[in-house]
Amino acid sequence: MPRARRIIKLSLPDEFIALCRRDGVAPETVLRGFIADLYGIVNWTSAPRQDGYGSNGSDERDKAQTYYDRVGYPYWNR
Task: Classify residue 67: in a domain, yes or no.
Answer: yes
Q: Tell me whether residue 38 is in a domain.
A: yes
Residues in Cβ contact with 34 at an 8 Å cutoff, skipping those fewer than 6 apart:
64
11 within domain boundaries: no
Q: Domain for residue 22, yes or no? A: no
- On whether residue 16 sits in a domain, the answer given is no
pLDDT of residue 12: 98
DSSP string, 13-45: PHHHHHHHHHHT--HHHHHHHHHHHHHT----T
Q: How far apart are CA 17 and CA 31, in angstroms?
A: 12
Containing domain of residue 49, as a range?
Answer: 27-75
Question: Is the whole model's pTM more than 0.75, yes or no?
Answer: yes
Q: Integer distance in angstroms from the first to the last C-alpha of the chain?
A: 35
Percent of the chain with pLDDT over 70: 96
Q: Which pLDDT value is given to residue 19?
A: 99
Counted domains in the chain: 1
Residue 45: pLDDT above 90? no
Q: Is residue 15 part of a domain?
A: no
Helix (H, G, I), strand (E, B) or coil at 8: coil
**What is the per-residue pLDDT for 1?**
58
Evaluate whether residue 5 is within a structural domain: no
